[in-house]
Amino acid sequence: MRTISMILMKERTSMEQVFQYVDQMFEQYVKEVATLCSFRSVKGDNAGLQACRNLLKKKLDALGFCPGEYGGMQEAALLHGYRGVAGKKTLLFYNHYDVVPEGPSSAWTTSPFEIVSENGRLWGRGISDNKGALLARLQAVEAILAVKGELPTGVAFLFDGDEETGSAAISRMAEEEPGALRALTDADLCIWENGRTLPDGSPEAAFGVRSTLTVELKVKTSNGDEHGRMGAELPNAAWRLSWALASLKDMNERVLIDGFYDDVLPATNADLEVLSQYPYDQEGMLARKEIPEFLLGLRDLELKKKIFLQPSLNINGLESGEPWKGFRNIVPHTASARISIILVPQQHAEDILRKLKRHLSKKGFGDVEVIADPNGFPVRTPVDTPWRTVLTRAAAAVYERPLTASITQLGSGPAYLLRTVRPELPIVCACGVAALDSGHHSAKENVLLENYKNGIKFTIAMLYEAGK
């Protein structure tokens, strides 16, 4: 008769056998990710995208995931695969295999599409965002199957081919075939994109993905610039824009758009507990930016509440009169600003854009053109979800330091598309290969070799914990 402790022992032993296998295979795994990253899977480079897809599809097939594809004409194809385990939960892994362009080659000290191992790190485009994270998960599944022949729990994969340019394929599926997307996302938990370690080496689980509404404000007051001496009589686009912007937010960082804060969820006790424990390196940031204090002089918990729980409105750029070409004493006839509004639950981009337009019209800025493509809303999973315990246990089996919980990752992403078809789906960013300095989108993109290996093992542990 098997006791509970014997079962636990068996699982523990299983997991460690798989970990040993990962250690043996690691050199091979690094070669494999180098191959995946060698394909230039950048929007518009169809050969590079197709090569990635082929490799991943073959791998999904070999692992018994019965791969399928969606889209592929206007958008890069969405790849999916599923292998269930009767009576067990299913974990859905969302990743993307497209990458941002490499940018000017002069910025790189390595070759962007050739993974280089140096100083304990792997360097190259996509190694962290997101092909490394993606493949580490497939390799975790492969290792389990190689050692054990069966998975401890069900697994589904969703590989996005155009995440960096708006996730056209998932968007279309969500709109035109929501039932099909609902079937592909039939899981108990979604592990989102990537996860990272903090500077002290502890792994992080972020229980949300933010959403940003980006807006261009444009003013045109006449058909051309005029000499500055006409300033008393002619409308001035730069003035119109300055007044419009100042009407949007006051110097206390309060957004003045009617109803802007209506849907902001209050912080739960669990949120505040997570926030108070979250190690935000404020001194490091102040020193790095060489500033005496953060906005409003906030520190500690109040600062973290503002960052993680409050929406904000940011000007990204201003342009009028082309002063960079040299000073011109003119009445400028055009002016524009880019602003981005970071949303929090339950704010929706469409609603906030409507409120912004209403505000401008009400305040006398009907002449300010508002250009935006409002999409989405932030995704949050309660930080006291039972899955947090599961993640904590999985992390304990791999890392020497405990799991750190975060309210949300600060970046945006298409997680909301999954929520539109499956509102109940918990989504968490964890089990990844990144660190704070992974340099996503930069010419310094890298992962620590140790983090890559631990990312595989964390995924393995997570599957075992989920299978319990």
Q: Which stretch binds a copy of itself (CB under 8 A): 92-100, 174-182, 234-242, 389-397?
A: 234-242
Is residue 214 part of the contact set for a copy of itself (CB under 8 A)? yes
| Cα within 13 Å of Cα(167), Cβ side | 22
**What values do phi and psi take at 298, rounded to 5?**
-70, 150
Is residue 17 part of the contact set for a copy of itself (CB under 8 A)? no
Quick check: 428 and 191 in contact, CB under 8 A?
A: yes
142 among known catalytic residues? no
Angle at 429 between CA 148 and CA 129, to 5 degrees: 90
Please say which residue, 333 or 457, places its beta carbon nearer to a copy of itself. 333
Please pick, among 98, 142, 225, 465, the residue that the annotation labels catalytic: 98
Is residue 215 part of the contact set for a copy of itself (CB under 8 A)? no
Amino acid at 66: C
Site for a copy of itself in 400-439 (CB under 8 A): 410-412
- Cα 375 to Cα 50, 178, 207, 237, distances in angstroms: 27, 16, 20, 29
Please say which residue, 215 or 395, places its beta carbon nearer to a copy of itself. 215
User: Would you call the peptide bond into 375 cis, given omega within 30 degrees of 0 as the criterion?
Assistant: no
Is residue 364 part of the contact set for a copy of itself (CB under 8 A)? yes
Q: How far is the CB of 219 from a copy of itself (least distance, A)?
A: 11
Is residue 165 part of the contact set for a copy of itself (CB under 8 A)? no
The residue count for binding a copy of itself (CB under 8 A) is 67
Is residue 264 part of the contact set for a copy of itself (CB under 8 A)? no
**Neighbour tally for 348: CB within 10 Å:** 19
Is residue 59 part of the contact set for a copy of itself (CB under 8 A)? no
Quick check: 158 and 137 in contact, CB under 8 A?
A: no
Among 76, 78, 342, 349, the residue binding a copy of itself under the rule CB under 8 A is: 342
Is residue 315 part of the contact set for a copy of itself (CB under 8 A)? yes
Residue 292 DSSP one-character state = S
Token pair listed for 208? 């949300």
DSSP class per residue in 106-172: GG-SS-TTS-EEETTEEESTTTTTTHHHHHHHHHHHHHHHHHHSS-SSEEEEEEES-GGGT-HHHHH
Is residue 328 part of the contact set for a copy of itself (CB under 8 A)? yes
| Cα within 13 Å of Cα(371), Cβ side | 7
Quick check: 197 and 191 in contact, CB under 8 A?
A: no
Please say which residue, 382 or 411, places its beta carbon nearer to a copy of itself. 411
102 among known catalytic residues? no
Q: How far apart are the C-alpha atoms of 254 and 256, rounded to whole Å? A: 6
Is residue 241 part of the contact set for a copy of itself (CB under 8 A)? yes
Q: How far is the CB of 283 from a copy of itself (least distance, A)?
A: 13
Collapsing DSSP to helix, strand or coil, 231 comes out as coil
Q: Which residue has the tokens 């261009």?
A: 216
Please say which residue, 321 or 455, places its beta carbon nearer to a copy of itself. 321
Token pair listed for 157? 């994969």
Is residue 222 part of the contact set for a copy of itself (CB under 8 A)? yes
Is residue 321 part of the contact set for a copy of itself (CB under 8 A)? yes
Please say which residue, 47 or 295, places its beta carbon nearer to a copy of itself. 295
Q: Which stretch binds a copy of itself (CB under 8 A): 11-19, 43-51, 182-190, 247-255?
A: 247-255
Q: How far apart are the C-alpha atoms of 279 and 265, rounded to whole Å? A: 23
Is residue 323 part of the contact set for a copy of itself (CB under 8 A)? yes
Is residue 347 part of the contact set for a copy of itself (CB under 8 A)? no
Where along the sequence are the contacts to a copy of itself (CB under 8 A)?
210, 212, 214, 221-224, 226, 228-236, 238-239, 241-243, 245-247, 249, 251, 285, 289-291, 294-295, 298, 303, 306-307, 310, 312-324, 327-332, 335-338, 340, 342, 364, 410-412
- Catalytically annotated residues: 98, 163
